[in-house]
Amino acid sequence: MKRTVCAKSIFELWGHGKSPEELYSSLRNYPVEKMVPFLHSDSTYKIKIHTFNKTLTQEEKIKRIDALEFLPFEGKVNLKKPQHIFSILEDYGLDPNCIPENPHNIYFGRWIADGQRELIESYSVKKRHFIGNTSMDAGLSFIMANHGKVKENDIVFDPFVGTGGLLIASAHFGAYVYGTDIDYNTVHGLGKASRKNQKWRGPDENIRANLRQYGLEKYYLDVLVSDASKPSWRKGTYFDAIITDPPYGIRESTRRTGSQKEIPKGIEKCPESHVPVSLSYHLSDMFFDLLNFAAETLVLGGRLVYWLPVYTPEYTEEMVPWHPCLKLISNCEQKLSGRTSRRLITMEKVKGFENRDQYSHLLSDHFLPYQGHNSFREKYFSGVTKRIAKEEKSSQE
């Protein structure tokens, strides 16, 4: 609960029912020996009422608390600093336009801990110093850091770092963070601003300034301009987690460095002073490069967490990229539209990398189905085009 942004609170359930009478009956059947440690005369307590989809008056709340007088409370009430907090939770459904008179379910229990929902607000992108078109939502960033099991003194890397939203969540948990990106302007905080009513980025708009904003600058290692398709690392295991959101070609282009004269047989050698132009970077190549890089540079037991865009009507689990050094831990969907979604893929390194593993994906049954994702951008925009045409047609009618 000290880490999660997905749960509001956790309670030890003492009783529940669909009506007050059922709740009281359930509470009477709860073992007294489990209650006594929290109700003895030396303890202090308070009772809170939580309602979902309905607001109660103070009078209604007091009435519900008074109805619990049959419980063996022997301690003193302390509303400011109680040793124990008990809660009644009433569920009135999810439809705000049709709130029932009586709750669907009522629960009573002892409060144990709160989650970290407030992190979503305190780290909100809206208040962040430096943002871009695709800055990751704060809540999703913390979910990804938790999937990566990021902990104190870990080294976390993002090869498509952008404005560094994922680094911030990892640094919050005490990890040292590092990233690369092919976009020179983004890494250096130059060029046009993404905010409304701001034309150009300011002199101190960069990833380091974002970490400084949250008091996390000491965890900043560095951010470099680099091409994810041509990693510049010496061979070795450096990272405890690789957490990233690769570009899908929708709001940010998929690019890699290369020469326009590049041919399938190999890449021509360029002089050291030459800065290569950028070429398109197929999604299938991007993700297999990412998996190979993770297999090579993660420590054993380290995790790779990334988003995989999919065209929903064609999606099958076989389309998730595979690698012999990485074990799939979880695959969670976030819907983007009626026909597109992205899947949060978490993988763990389970064996050391060998040179022969680099091309193992070519022999995999997953390889051919996954190449279909190279046309994700075209499928995405064909859906958008059809929707716009449909909306225009309905407005004309």
> What is the DSSP code string of 248-316?
-SSSS--EEEE-TT-BTTBPPP--TT--PEEEE--HHHHHHHHHHHHHHHEEEEEEEEEEEEEEGGG--
Q: Which of 140-149, 187-196, 224-233, 388-397 has the highest mean pLDDT?
A: 140-149
Q: What is the pLDDT of residues 57-84, one digit of tens each?
A: 999 999 999 999 999 999 999 999 999 9
The pLDDT score that the predictor gives to residue 8 is 95
Tell me how far apart the alpha carbons of residues 14 and 89 are, in angstroms, rounded to a whole number. Answer: 12
What's the whole-number average pLDDT of the chain? 86
- Contact 18/114 with Cβ under 8 angstroms? no
The residues facing 178 across adjacent strands are 157, 222
- Coil vs helix vs strand at 85: strand
Closest alpha carbon to 72 in 11, 15, 28 = 28
Amino acid at the residue 265: K
Tell me which residue of 353, 340, 275, 331 sits closest to 312, measured CA to CA: 340
Q: In what order do the strands lie in the sheet with 44-52?
A: 9-17, 105-114, 84-91, 44-52, 76-77
CATH topology of domain 119-258+276-379: Rossmann fold (3.40.50)
Residue 192, token pair as written in the block: 């046009």
Question: Does residue 266 have a pLDDT over 50?
Answer: no
Percent of the chain surpassing pLDDT 70: 81
Residues 254 and 286: their CA atoms lie apart, in Å, by 9
**pLDDT exceeds cutoff 90 at 368:** no
pLDDT in tens, 14-37: 999 999 999 999 999 999 999 999
What value does the CA radius of gyration of the chain take, rounded to a whole number of Å? 27
Element (H, E) at 166: helix 165-172
Query: d(Cα 56, Cα 70) in Å, to the nearest integer?
Result: 23
Q: What is the pTM of this model?
A: 0.82
Give the pLDDT confidence score for residue 267 in this predicted structure.
Answer: 44
Please say whether the beta carbons of 7 and 114 come within 8 A.
Answer: no
Closest residue by Cα to residue 123 from 207, 214, 12: 214
**Do the strands 44-52 and 84-91 form a parallel or antiparallel pair, or are they unpaired?**
parallel
- What ranges do the domains of the chain cover? 9-115, 119-258+276-379
DSSP-derived letter for residue 9 is: E
pLDDT at 388: 57
How sure is the predictor about 217, in pLDDT bands with cuts at 50, 70 and 90? very high
pLDDT confidence tier of residue 187, bands split at 50, 70 and 90: confident
pLDDT of 263 reads 46
Residue 163's alpha-carbon distances to 45, 131, 179, 191, 269, in angstroms, are 46, 6, 10, 13, 32
For the segment 368-392, the average pLDDT, to the nearest whole number, is 59
355 pLDDT more than 80: no
- Mean pLDDT over 127-133 rounds to 85
* CA-angle at 237, arms to 175 and 181, nearest 5°: 65
Alpha-carbon span 281 to 255, nearest angstrom: 5
